[in-house]
Amino acid sequence: MSMRQTVKVRGGAAVAIAVLALTLAGCGGSGGGDAKSTEKSSSPQSQGAGNQGAAPSNGQSAEPTEVIATLNGQAGMTLVINSVRRDAGGFVTVNGQIKNTGSQSFTRTSDWRGIELKGSGESVAGATLVDKAGKKRYYVLRDTESRCLCTTGISSVDPGQVVPFFAQFPAPPASTTEVEFSLPTFTSATVKISG
């Protein structure tokens, strides 16, 4: 076998391997299952853990369409709440986006962690829900290692940047359909619980 033929065989093998790899990558999805049923079957802890390491975006992802409330903050910061959902496991999960509509980078994110979870690092652990009718305040849940079940790792928010936001709380009684949501440096808003 000449050197030229050997190169052709190796080149053909490389193409075959590349085609096989692409074929396998295409087959690595959920097997055609319904994506919504996969989301619903995951536990609140697994949803929280997946979001903790998510990097902030620069507004390139599609924004959720429903806006339940918009809270104004310091220096052009806004917090948009897109859902407040009661989960089957006895939790309430608040989802939304933190946006910097100002002209300068916002660096006072350490105020968002509150005073209860100072060891949790930069997070939104200072968020609370208040059940005014039941006269009870709910704090962000923690895992067994005292890490908050909320967005973490936000050290600053640049102008125009959008950061996905979530926080999980113990669920108030089923009869409670409205709570007041607050996060330090933002105004508060009364929101309805769905689910």
Res. 92 pLDDT band, cuts 50 70 90: very high
Q: Are 24 and 76 in a shared domain?
A: no
Q: Are 56 and 22 in a shared domain?
A: no
Q: In this model, does residue 162 exceed pLDDT 60? A: yes
Q: In this model, does residue 173 exceed pLDDT 90? A: yes
Q: Are 62 and 112 in a shared domain?
A: yes
Q: Are 126 and 97 in a shared domain?
A: yes
Q: Are 90 and 180 in a shared domain?
A: yes
Stretch 79-89: mean pLDDT: 95
Residue 143 inside a domain? The answer is yes
The confidence score (pLDDT) of residue 64 equals 55
* Dist CA 54 CA 149 (whole Å): 13
* Beta bridge partners of residue 128, listed in sequence order: 139, 182
- How buried is residue 36: exposed, middle or buried, by Cβ count under 10 Å (0-12/13-18/19+)? exposed
Query: Do residues 83 and 95 make contact, with C-beta atoms less than 8 angstroms apart?
Result: yes
User: Which domain, by its residues, includes 58?
Assistant: 44-192
Q: In this model, does residue 25 exceed pLDDT 60? A: no
Nearest CA to 98 among 52, 163, 51?
163
Q: Are 24 and 57 in a shared domain?
A: no
Residue 38 inside a domain? The answer is no
Query: Do residues 128 and 92 make contact, with C-beta atoms less than 8 angstroms apart?
Result: no
Q: Are 84 and 21 in a shared domain?
A: no
What sign does the dihedral 184-186-191-195 (CA atoms) show? Answer: negative
Query: Do residues 82 and 93 make contact, with C-beta atoms less than 8 angstroms apart?
Result: no
Nearest CA to 148 among 122, 130, 181?
122
Residue 36 inside a domain? The answer is no
CATH of the domain at 151: 2.60.40
- What is the number of domains present in the chain? 2
Dihedral of the alpha carbons of 143, 134, 73, 55, in degrees to the nearest 10: 20
Q: In this model, does residue 7 exceed pLDDT 60? A: no
Residue 35 inside a domain? The answer is no
What is the share, in percent, of the chain residues with pLDDT greater than 70?
63
Q: Are 24 and 51 in a shared domain?
A: no
* Dist CA 71 CA 94 (whole Å): 13
Stretch 33-53: mean pLDDT: 39
Q: In this model, does residue 35 exceed pLDDT 60? A: no
Q: Are 64 and 24 in a shared domain?
A: no
Res. 195 pLDDT band, cuts 50 70 90: confident
Q: Are 52 and 26 in a shared domain?
A: no
Report the predicted TM-score, pTM, of the whole model to 2 decimal places. Answer: 0.66
